[in-house]
Homo-oligomer: A and B are copies of this chain.
Amino acid sequence: MSSTIKDVAKRANVSIATVSRIVNNQTGYSEKTKKKVLEAIEELGYQPNAVARGLINRRTHTIGVLFPKLSSTFVTDLLSGIEKATHEAGSSLIVCHTESNGEKTMKYLQLLNEKRIDGIIFTSAPLIDEYYQYISKMNVPLVLLSTESYAYNVPYVKVNDRHAAYTATQYLIKQGHKDIGMISGNKDDLIAGRPRIDGFISALQDHNLPYDEQKIVTNQGFSFSDGLGSLKTLLDQSPDITAIFAASDELAMGAISAAYQLGIKVPDELSIIGYDNLSIAEMAIPPLTSVAQPLTEMGEVAANMLFEILNHDKVVKSRIMPHQIKERNSVKERK
């Protein structure tokens, strides 16, 4: 007769509950105990059943992805790439929508832990200490997508926001604009807020163009309604600007809609460049020129990175994805 969980517990000199916890990948035992129990399982040839065996040897072929906000085409584009790579790898995807809410995020991490997912892609939000500690305890690989961590050494996939903002501003300068404003997201956001502001200012300074604080309007977020409200404020502060760098496509589209309401012609009287190159950029009137982030590809790269860690247990390198200007019709050359 084959061995039972009792035999394993006896041989390892631990309780049945401890063996069960270890077999079921739960927490609450030392590494030393785990080693002793796995040795006993090995020696006795304990095979409770195929499923339990799977828990020891195999993966669940499920990965978890955390998004701050689902109702944006930014996320759809990333998700579409993650989904493609995940299914190509024969795995499936559990999608968690955190709404940038700490409590919700922790709840989802617990859920992913219970599901024994193989790994996590954490997207487009700051990786705070509480999340990082919990994920470390889960002992699954983690990849950051469209975000990065200064505090922890976690592989990430993103564009260089500072460089991309510089490129956008430089594009406006090359089109002959000398008085340029910016509609920004949250200036205290160290991932997507501050770096884009810094890139904008650097570009102006490198080209000896005037800069003062009145050239920038900051917002809580990067949404259409933020952009809609920002244009008038910016033009009140800096009436002479001829071009605007908006730190997201939604901000840019909000600014274009506000210009339409104010009777300002884009691009004839005011040029606007966006950031992201979402699928909605081509739907703008005029179609929006934007700094392209290759979002779908970024999603694919992040998922593939996770599978590389899972399949080959190797240290992966973070990836800075190339950005580029996607020219449409919202910027006009100024002679």
Q: Which residue on B lies nearest to A72, using beta carbons?
A: B76
Interface residues of A in 1-57 (CB under 8 A from B): 1-2, 4-6, 20, 23-24, 48-52, 55
In the assembly, what is the distance between CA of A260 and CA of B284, in Å? 10
Partner of A283, one of B4, B83, B90, B280: B280
Report how far A21 CA is from B272 CA in the complex, Å.
62
- Establish whether residues B283 and A260, one from each chain, have CB atoms under 8 Å apart when the complex forms: no
Task: Write the nearest CB–CB distance from A129 to chain B, whole angstroms.
Answer: 24
CA distance in complex: A96, B92 (Å): 8
Instruction: Confirm or deny: A95 has a beta carbon within 8 angstroms of a beta carbon on chain B.
Output: yes
Copy number in the complex reads: 2
A148-176 CB mask vs B (1 if < 8 Å, else 0) is 00000000000000000000000000000
Number of interface residues of A (CB under 8 A): 55
List which A73-95 residues lie within 8 A (CB) of chain B. Answer: 73, 75-77, 79-80, 83-84, 87, 90, 92-95
Closest CB in chain B relative to A64 CB, distance in Å: 8
B97 x A94 contact (CB < 8 A): no
- CA of A152 to CA of B253 in the docked complex: distance in angstroms? 44
A70 touches B76 (CB 8 A): yes
Q: Which B residues lie within 8 Å of A73 (CB)? A: 71, 73, 76, 280
Considering only residues 106-120 of chain A, those with a C-beta below 8 Å from chain B are 107-108, 111-112, 115
What distance in Å separates the Cβ of A229 from its nearest Cβ neighbour in chain B?
A: 13
Q: Which of B49, B83, B280 contacts A52 (CB 8 A)?
A: B49
Contacting B at CB under 8 A, from A240-268, are 250, 253-254, 256-257, 260
**Judging by beta carbons under 8 Å apart, are A76 and B75 in contact?**
yes
How far, in whole Å, are A87 and B80 apart by their CA atoms in the complex?
A: 21
In the bound complex, do residue B96 and residue A94 qualify as a contact, i.e. CB atoms below 8 Å apart?
no
A147 to B75, CA, bound (A): 24
- The answer to whether B71 and A83 have CB atoms under 8 Å apart is no
Q: Which of B83, B107, B256, B282 contacts A285 (CB 8 A)?
A: B256
- Identify the closest chain B residue to A111 (Cβ): B92
Q: What residues on B are CB-neighbors of A95 within 8 Å?
A: 79, 83, 93, 95
Complex CA distance for A21 and B83, rounded to whole angstroms: 30
Partner of A287, one of B83, B257, B284: B257
Q: A4-B2, A287-B257 are in contact. Are A51 and B62 (CB under 8 A)?
A: no
Query: Judging by beta carbons under 8 Å apart, are B283 and A257 in contact?
Result: yes
Contacts of A68 in B (CB 8 A): none
What's the nearest-Cβ distance from chain B to residue A312, in Å? Answer: 23
Query: Which of B24, B49, B108, B287 is close to A20, meaning CB atoms less than 8 Å apart?
Result: B49
Q: Which residue of B lies closest to A74 (CB)?
A: B76
Asked if A260 and B280 make an inter-chain contact with CB atoms under 8 angstroms apart, the answer reads no
- Interface assignment of A279: CB less than 8 Å from any CB of chain B: yes
Contacts of A256 in B (CB 8 A): 285
Q: Given that A70-B83, A80-B70, A94-B94 are contacting pairs, would A24 and B2 also be in contact in the complex, using a CB cutoff of 8 Å? A: no
A to B CB contacts below 8 Å, 19 in the list: A1-B6, A2-B4, A5-B49, A24-B50, A51-B55, A52-B52, A70-B76, A70-B80, A70-B83, A71-B77, A71-B296, A76-B76, A92-B94, A92-B112, A92-B115, A224-B283, A250-B283, A260-B285, A280-B280
